[in-house]
């Protein structure tokens, strides 16, 4: 027993010292370990690695994480905000799906934002499948101003302001019905790029699948982002028509490769399925070829072609036709590993790393060699006439990592980290070339395979997609958890595992498991917390979060609260402050059109109020200084209550009022 305590105590002293902290001078039980801590460690059977993990991830009350992770929420349609390394869930950002706690989609401005992403005929879309969040960049570095997220299910893009971590805009792509390769930003967020997924006729018009090769197409969209307005501008955006391969994930070139863009594709077989008719299923038909095509775009040349008027307008959107893209030198292909799922540009922009799910290697492409091959010309073409650069002309290296390589991220020590889906592992390997002297190992070498639990999909690193990654941490976004958490039924949580990558060599360690029990996240990005300058209260009383300005219908004091009738329209200006509404009694007639402006007069951080109107499916969240407007027709007569849904004060339960509707 004493030997065990001494060992744990010595381990704890060494670990604390390594973390840059000093052991407390408290009563100890051998080796300097506090007696109560030693007892806990002994009782729980904790190892030195367990104690190290606890010290690396524990965040004392009142302290905040040095990093913030923005994670997609998959079928939830939302985005999640998580502290790193504590792995504490801080917020769910409502995006494509109504969210009642935030009052999003229940009567306020969220209704208008959601409507911006409805189908062209107005058909409602009230859920999404979010996949790839991207944080806005300046000179290839996260700047902490905006985030963007795609909806794979319906080919939509959303803009989130990181001033208040709320959605500001949703746009529906007019020419494709699903996307996967979005949302990826160019190095100065000139464009937010939305890749497609499955080939369809442009505008998803009807065409028989038997006419796939001729009538179906791929499409990549460059949404122009207006940073001042905080919105994408469809009128300044353009698309590029592509062959009907299934374009997948993308990444923008940076520094030496700025102005170029790279996307995976699969199904170069042009498989059309039909297992019910005796045809090969998609899973077989799309994996016959030994290679697929990495798509290489000169997006700055595409921008010039668009601005010169060489695009065709289809469903209100400028489209650079495939032949124009070929003729103008915008689009090139090169073979890539079979069934790829990740195209990732190194921090300096020198290389593009591609993993193929059915190839144990990652293939590394040299941007310099790509440029040389394009300049040399004389390239063969694919069946659609796109120039194809031979693999041996552009490949820098291949590194054998294991089974099912998918996505790759980078650190500050010249290492790359690739998720291995079939191996359920994170592979650490070395970059070569200008990264050779950043670590002890030779370039292009596998260093360590760390088992994770289980079936890792995406992977993310601290500042890992920027021109200057931080290192320190990687998060494995695992699809299965199986035995990691308590059994709560057949639908099990996903598992985010935090990996310590602070040491070189084969010293990676899993130090935290975080259950994600409300979604199936896909990708995430991790930003330094000090880059985020979020508000604690809105800048002025009467702030409209949708327009990010003072609402002209807002009031600034209780004295301005009132009810006015104009025919069968009733307009209400209501103030909200602890612990009452004004007015508290509102009397209207059945059939009246109601316009209700609700303004929080609070200026204290975290003094959030709610506004719920029973029977009318209306619920708002009112952060300090916020104004919301709801409009509805009083189609039910009777007596209805409204009340504050946030426990705002000792007299919270008394914060209510009556809406009486005369028959």
DSSP of 388-456: E--HHHHEEEEEE--S-EEEEEE-TTSEEEEEETTTTEEEEEE--GGGGGGSSSPSS-EEEEEE-SS-E
Work out the number of other CB atoms within 10 angstroms of the CB of residue 5.
19
- Of 510, 531, 552, the last residue of a domain is 531
Residue 25 has pLDDT above 90, yes or no: no
> Which residue, among 661, 640, 643, 639, has the nearest Cα to 653 in the 3D structure?
643
Residue 13 has pLDDT above 60, yes or no: no
| CA-to-CA dists, residue 593 to 109, 125, 636, angstroms | 18, 26, 12
pLDDT of residue 2: 39
Phi then psi for residue 51, to 5 deg, are -65, -40
pLDDT band at 28 (very low <50, low <70, confident <90, very high): very low
Same domain? 201 vs 266: yes
pLDDT band at 342 (very low <50, low <70, confident <90, very high): confident
Assess if residue 62 is contained within a domain: no
Residue 19 has pLDDT above 90, yes or no: no
Computed over every residue of the chain, the mean pLDDT equals: 94
The contacts of residue 205 (CB under 8 Å, 6+ apart) are none
pLDDT tens-digit readout, 261-307? 999 999 999 999 999 999 999 999 999 999 999 999 999 999 999 99
Would you call 42 helix, strand, or coil by DSSP?
helix
Assess if residue 164 is contained within a domain: yes
The contacts of residue 449 (CB under 8 Å, 6+ apart) are 401, 402, 420, 423, 425, 426, 427, 428
pLDDT band at 196 (very low <50, low <70, confident <90, very high): confident
pLDDT band at 333 (very low <50, low <70, confident <90, very high): very high
Assess if residue 537 is contained within a domain: no
Same domain? 190 vs 332: yes
Same domain? 499 vs 598: no
Residue 20 has pLDDT above 70, yes or no: no
Assess if residue 538 is contained within a domain: no
Same domain? 456 vs 315: yes
> Which residue, among 235, 239, 233, 242, has the nearest Cα to 221 in the 3D structure?
239
Domain with 617 in it: 543-662
Assess if residue 57 is contained within a domain: no
For residues 377-396, give the mean pLDDT.
Answer: 98
For strand 456-461 and strand 446-451, is the pairing parallel, antiparallel, or unpaired?
unpaired
Would you call 54 helix, strand, or coil by DSSP?
helix
Q: What secondary structure does DSSP assign to 290-326, as a single string? A: SEEEEEEEEHHHHHHHHHTT--EEETTEEEE-HHHHH
Q: How far is CA 649 from the centre of its chain?
A: 35
For strand 549-550 and strand 543-544, is the pairing parallel, antiparallel, or unpaired?
antiparallel
Q: Assign residue 375 the CATH number of its domain.
A: 2.130.10.10
Helix (H) or strand (E) holding 142: strand 141-151
pLDDT tens-digit readout, 547-568? 999 999 999 999 999 999 999 9
Lowest mean pLDDT among 193-202, 367-376, 558-567: 193-202
- Of 531, 556, 582, the last residue of a domain is 531
The radius of gyration computed from the CA coordinates of the chain, to the nearest angstrom, equals 28
> Which residue, among 86, 84, 82, has the nearest Cα to 61 in the 3D structure?
86
Same domain? 523 vs 603: no
pLDDT tens-digit readout, 618-663? 999 999 999 999 999 999 999 999 999 999 999 999 999 999 999 9
> Which residue, among 179, 158, 163, 145, has the nearest Cα to 79 in the 3D structure?
158
Same domain? 549 vs 589: yes
pLDDT of residue 32: 53
Same domain? 444 vs 559: no
The contacts of residue 498 (CB under 8 Å, 6+ apart) are 57, 84, 85, 87, 473, 474, 475, 510, 511, 512, 514
pLDDT tens-digit readout, 246-264? 999 999 999 999 999 999 9
| CA-to-CA dists, residue 626 to 168, 578, 594, angstroms | 15, 14, 20
Cα distance between residue 597 and residue 617, in whole Å: 16
Residue 287 and residue 224 in contact, taking contact as beta carbons nearer than 8 Å: no
For residues 83-96, give the mean pLDDT.
Answer: 98
Cα distance between residue 298 and residue 220, in whole Å: 13
> Which residue, among 258, 251, 528, 298, has the nearest Cα to 407 in the 3D structure?
251
b/e map of 574-592 (b: 16 or more CB within 10 Å)?
A: bbbbbbbbbbeebebeeeb
Same domain? 214 vs 148: yes
Cα distance between residue 212 and residue 201, in whole Å: 8
Cα distance between residue 309 and residue 193, in whole Å: 20
pLDDT of residue 538: 98
> Which residue, among 475, 459, 467, 494, has the nearest Cα to 249 in the 3D structure?
459
b/e map of 460-497 (b: 16 or more CB within 10 Å)?
A: bbbbbbbbebbbbbbbbbbbbbeebeeeeeeebbbbbb
Question: Please, is 20 exposed, middle or buried when counting C-beta atoms within 10 Å of its C-beta (0-12, 13-18, 19+)?
Answer: exposed
| CA-to-CA dists, residue 618 to 36, 119, 610, 621, 632, angstroms | 52, 24, 11, 11, 9
For strand 134-138 and strand 79-84, is the pairing parallel, antiparallel, or unpaired?
unpaired
Residue 486, CB-side half-sphere exposure with 13 Å CA sphere: 1
Same domain? 504 vs 584: no
Cα distance between residue 378 and residue 451, in whole Å: 45
Same domain? 314 vs 380: yes
Q: What residue ranges in 491-568 does DSSP mark as E strands?
A: 494-500, 509-516, 524-528, 543-544, 549-550, 562-566
Question: Please, is 228 exposed, middle or buried when counting C-beta atoms within 10 Å of its C-beta (0-12, 13-18, 19+)?
Answer: exposed
Question: Please, is 211 exposed, middle or buried when counting C-beta atoms within 10 Å of its C-beta (0-12, 13-18, 19+)?
Answer: exposed
What is the count of structural domains for the chain? 3
pLDDT of residue 181: 85
Cα distance between residue 600 and residue 545, in whole Å: 13
pLDDT of residue 96: 98
Assess if residue 292 is contained within a domain: yes
* Torsion from C-alpha of 28, 29, 34, 36, nearest 10 degrees: -130
> Which residue, among 544, 546, 519, 529, has the nearest Cα to 627 in the 3D structure?
544
Same domain? 325 vs 363: yes
Strand order in the sheet with 141-151: 134-138, 141-151, 156-161, 166-172
Residue 9 has pLDDT above 90, yes or no: no
Residue 38 and residue 8 in contact, taking contact as beta carbons nearer than 8 Å: yes
Provide, rounded to the nearest whole percent, the portion of the chain with pLDDT above 90. 92
Q: How far is CA 470 from the centre of its chain?
A: 19
The contacts of residue 193 (CB under 8 Å, 6+ apart) are 181, 182, 183, 184, 185, 186, 220, 221, 222, 223, 250, 252, 261, 299
Reading the block at residue 91, the tokens are 């917020």
pLDDT of residue 265: 95
Q: What residue ranges in 152-272 does DSSP mark as E strands?
A: 156-161, 166-172, 184-185, 191-194, 218-226, 231-242, 246-252, 260-266
Would you call 196 helix, strand, or coil by DSSP?
coil
| CA-to-CA dists, residue 525 to 134, 364, 462, 474, 585, angstroms | 7, 22, 7, 10, 48
Assess if residue 367 is contained within a domain: yes
Q: Assign residue 587 the CATH number of its domain.
A: 2.60.40.420
- Of 531, 553, 583, the last residue of a domain is 531
b/e map of 137-156 (b: 16 or more CB within 10 Å)?
A: beebbbbbbbbbbbbbbbbb
Assess if residue 54 is contained within a domain: no
pLDDT of residue 33: 65
Helix (H) or strand (E) holding 277: none
Same domain? 568 vs 506: no
């Amino acid at each position: 027993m004493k030997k065990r305590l001494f060992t744990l105590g010595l381990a704890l002293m060494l670990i604390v010292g390594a973390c840059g902290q000093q052991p407390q001078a408290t009563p100890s039980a051998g080796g300097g370990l506090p007696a109560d801590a030693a007892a806990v460690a002994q009782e729980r059977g904790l190892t030195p690695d367990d104690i190290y993990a606890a010290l690396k991830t524990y965040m004392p009350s009142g302290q905040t994480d040095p990093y913030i992770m923005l994670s997609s929420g998959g079928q939830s349609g939302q985005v999640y905000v998580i502290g790193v390394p504590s792995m504490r869930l801080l917020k769910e950002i409502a995006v494509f799906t109504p969210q009642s706690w935030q009052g999003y989609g229940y009567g306020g401005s969220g209704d208008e934002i959601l409507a911006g992403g409805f189908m062209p005929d107005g058909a409602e879309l009230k859920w999404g499948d979010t996949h790839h969040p991207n944080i806005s960049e300046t000179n290839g570095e996260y700047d902490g101003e905006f985030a963007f997220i795609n909806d794979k299910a319906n080919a939509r893009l959303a803009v989130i302001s990181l001033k208040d971590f709320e959605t500001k805009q949703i746009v529906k792509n007019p020419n494709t019905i699903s996307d996967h390769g979005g949302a990826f930003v160019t190095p100065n967020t000139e464009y937010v790029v939305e890749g497609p997924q499955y080939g369809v006729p442009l505008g998803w018009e009807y065409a028989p699948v038997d006419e796939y090769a001729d009538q179906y197409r791929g499409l990549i969209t460059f949404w122009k982002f207006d940073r001042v307005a905080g919105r994408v501008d469809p009128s300044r955006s353009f698309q590029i028509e592509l062959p009907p391969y299934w374009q997948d994930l993308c990444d923008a070139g940076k520094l030496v490769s700025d102005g170029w863009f790279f996307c995976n594709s699969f199904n170069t077989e042009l498989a059309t399925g039909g297992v019910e008719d005796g045809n090969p299923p998609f899973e077989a038909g799309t994996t016959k070829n030994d290679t697929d095509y990495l798509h290489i775009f000169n997006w700055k040349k595409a921008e010039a072609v668009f601005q010169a008027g060489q695009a065709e307008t289809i469903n209100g959107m400028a489209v650079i036709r495939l032949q124009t893209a070929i003729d103008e030198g915008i689009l090139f292909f090169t073979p890539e590993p079979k069934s790829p799922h990740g195209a990732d540009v190194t921090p300096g922009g020198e290389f593009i790393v591609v993993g193929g799910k059915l190839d144990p290697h990652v293939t590394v492409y040299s941007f310099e060699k790509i440029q040389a091959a394009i300049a040399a010309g004389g390239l063969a073409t694919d069946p659609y006439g796109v120039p194809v650069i031979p693999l041996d002309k552009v490949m820098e290296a291949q590194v054998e990592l294991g089974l099912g390589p998918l996505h790759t991220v980078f650190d500050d020590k010249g290492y790359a980290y690739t998720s291995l889906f079939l191996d359920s592992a994170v592979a650490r390997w070395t970059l070569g070339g200008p990264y050779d002297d950043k670590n002890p190992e030779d370039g292009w070498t596998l260093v360590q395979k760390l088992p994770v639990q289980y079936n890792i999909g995406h992977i993310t690193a601290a500042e890992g997609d920027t021109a200057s990654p931080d290192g320190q941490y990687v998060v494995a976004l695992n699809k299965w958890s199986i035995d990691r958490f308590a059994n709560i039924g057949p639908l099990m949580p996903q598992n985010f595992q935090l990996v310590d990558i602070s040491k070189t060599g084969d010293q990676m360690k899993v130090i935290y498991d975080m259950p994600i029990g409300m979604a199936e996240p896909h990708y995430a990005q991790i930003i330094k917390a000090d880059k985020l300058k979020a508000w604690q209260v809105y800048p002025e009383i009467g702030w409209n979060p949708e327009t990010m300005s003072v609402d002209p219908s807002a009031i600034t004091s209780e004295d301005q609260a009132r009810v006015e009738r104009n025919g069968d329209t009733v307009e209400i200006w209501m103030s909200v402050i602890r612990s009452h509404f004004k007015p508290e009694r509102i009397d209207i007639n059945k059939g009246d059109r109601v316009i209700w402006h609700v303004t929080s007069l609070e200026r204290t951080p975290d003094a959030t109020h709610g506004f719920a109107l029973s029977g009318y499916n209306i619920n708002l969240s009112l952060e300090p200084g916020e104004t919301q407007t709801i409009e509805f027709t009083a189609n039910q007569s009777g007596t209805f209550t409204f009340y504050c849904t946030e426990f705002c004060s000792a007299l919270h339960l008394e914060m209510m009022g009556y809406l009486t509707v005369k028959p």
